[in-house]
Amino acid sequence: MVAGYGAELSKLLESIGAEPGDRVRVLTIDGTTIEGVILPRYELGDSNVLVVKLRSGYNVGIHAGRIEKVEIVGRSAKRGPIGAPVSLLEKEPSPPSRVLVSILGTGGTIASRVDYETGAVKPSMSQEEVLLAVPEVLNYASIEVEEVFSVLSEEMKPWMWERIVDAVARKIESGVSGVVVAHGTDTMSYTAAALSFAFHRGLPVPVAFVGAQRSSDRPSSDAAFNLLSAVIVAAKAPFSEVVVVMHGETGDTYSLAHRGVRVRKMHTSRRDAFQSINALPLAKIYPDSGKIEILDNEYRRRKSQGLVVDNGFDDKVAYVKHYPGPIAEILETLIDKGFHGIVIEGTGFGHVSTDAIKAIRRAVEEGIPVVVASQTLFGRVNLNVYSTGRKMLEAGVIPVEDMIPETAYVKLSWVLARTRDLGEIRKLMTSNLAGEIGYRHHVRLYPRWYHGGKA
């Protein structure tokens, strides 16, 4: 098959020896002549339709059944050596001495480039590309870029968290001023939470996760704005915490550094999708001026040493949501399958239906911790208010205050890799290790929704 085309077109193209990149003249059965460059068939298009790029730059598709003849007009032009690319900045910045920031690539939109011909998105992140695309980072630090691996963030698994923890630890040991982790946005908050626990006993410098909601091929991409913000944090933030750095609002004005254990992707597509839940963000960053404005003064300070790594995650933890359905059956299945721990997103205060309580009791009896957070996201779980809650407590669930449920899942995965003792687990889960639990919510820690009228 030629470049993703179906049998008929492949045969046709092979018969004249045409390949993607070749300029061809296509004569259609209705007598029209179309000249253009053959493109490979990408993704899920109809493989019986030939795609050519016209001289104007437009692509059009011609169905095999309408093609009378194809002839080659010119062979694919091999590109000459590429000259030195134009720099975005008038003057190359010279980085402050002895400030080195390490950028680690793990994949996702921020570390992808579009193939301008096919539109296919290819993962790639090199030192050269980063400096070419966002040369302003050099105003704040020297940069080294390394790719840990490249996956779309929905493919992320706990064993990959471990690899990232190792990579970050190595960089910190080598003496960098801070680490930036470029990550896909879908599961970025899980990974950020994972690192928060792995480094909670000792982290001398900031670790800033960063992603992009708009791909970097577009002039409106948020990638550069976010990356610059993250580098600023890594280079000079006074705090040494694991944070997620992303747009603060829809405009290009400031970004926010959120604690890795408090942040959640709250929108499918907006730039400001990442928001702290039940907590204030740690800081505002103005990438145009390089200013960092601290919003929460309770933070761990940057130090010259003191790295303590506590790596390791259990990969057999279940995370389920209570819903009006056969939840008891699901819990029984998880126990049967030998899961090591279960996090339940309960309704409201953290409830499950009473028929599920029997299953919870069985889990606890078999040594499987059952952790409860709330699917309302905002607010604190409280199992003392209604009798169902009290029955859940009696059955042995571990409620985790105002912890967001995804963080509860990551934390349980981390805890289970250290102990299987239910008492120990309960103690660790209900202690505030990395800022994941807050004991005071003032009234503004809840978004104000739009209710019509003047915005």
**Which residues lie near other proteins (CB under 8 A)?**
28, 30, 32, 34, 42-46, 49, 51, 54, 56-63, 66, 79, 82-86, 88-90, 114-121, 132-133, 214, 216-221, 224, 249-253, 268-271, 454-455
Q: Are 37 and 29 in contact (CB under 8 A)?
A: no
Q: Any catalytic annotation for residue 265? A: yes
- Closest CB 215 distance from other proteins, rounded Å: 8
Q: Any catalytic annotation for residue 109? A: yes
One DSSP character per residue, 283-297 reads EEEETTTTEEEES--
- In one-letter notation, the amino acid at residue 227 is L
Q: Which is the catalytic residue, given 185, 187, 191, 388?
A: 185
- Closest CB 377 distance from other proteins, rounded Å: 21
For other proteins, the closer CB: 8 or 310: 8
- Closest CB 83 distance from other proteins, rounded Å: 8
Q: Which is the catalytic residue, given 106, 109, 118, 388?
A: 109
Q: Are 248 and 221 in contact (CB under 8 A)?
A: no
- Closest CB 88 distance from other proteins, rounded Å: 7
Q: Which is the catalytic residue, given 236, 265, 388, 407?
A: 265
- Closest CB 280 distance from other proteins, rounded Å: 22
Q: Any catalytic annotation for residue 253? A: no
Can you list the alpha helix ranges (DSSP code H) found in 199-305? Answer: 223-236
For other proteins, the closer CB: 91 or 444: 91
For other proteins, the closer CB: 273 or 377: 273
For other proteins, the closer CB: 131 or 364: 131
User: What is residue 437's three-state secondary structure?
Assistant: coil
For other proteins, the closer CB: 52 or 165: 52
What tokens does 312 get?
A: 């390791």
Q: Where are the strands (E) in 55-168, listed by range?
A: 59-63, 67-74, 100-105, 112-114, 121-123, 142-147
Q: Which residues, at least 6 apart from 332, have a Cβ–Cβ distance to it below 8 Å? A: 359, 362
Strand 274-276 versus strand 263-265 pairing type: antiparallel
Q: Which is the catalytic residue, given 186, 217, 252, 272?
A: 186
Burial class (CB in 10 A: 0-12, 13-18, 19+), 144: middle
User: What is residue 10's three-state secondary structure?
Assistant: helix
Question: Considering only CA atoms, which of 373, 364, 374, 399 is closest in space to residue 384?
Answer: 399
Question: Considering only CA atoms, which of 191, 168, 87, 148 is closest in space to residue 413?
Answer: 191
For other proteins, the closer CB: 125 or 194: 125
**HSE-CB for 264 with a 13 A CA cutoff:** 19
Q: Any catalytic annotation for residue 11? A: no
What tokens does 260 get?
A: 């890795």
User: What is residue 179's three-state secondary structure?
Assistant: strand
Question: Considering only CA atoms, which of 368, 379, 358 is closest in space to residue 415?
Answer: 368
- Closest CB 284 distance from other proteins, rounded Å: 15
Question: Considering only CA atoms, which of 211, 219, 321 is closest in space to residue 260?
Answer: 211
- Closest CB 217 distance from other proteins, rounded Å: 6
- In one-letter notation, the amino acid at residue 60 is V
For other proteins, the closer CB: 46 or 315: 46
Q: What is the DSSP secondary structure assignment for residue 177, as one 8-state letter?
A: S
Catalytic residue set:
109, 185-186, 265
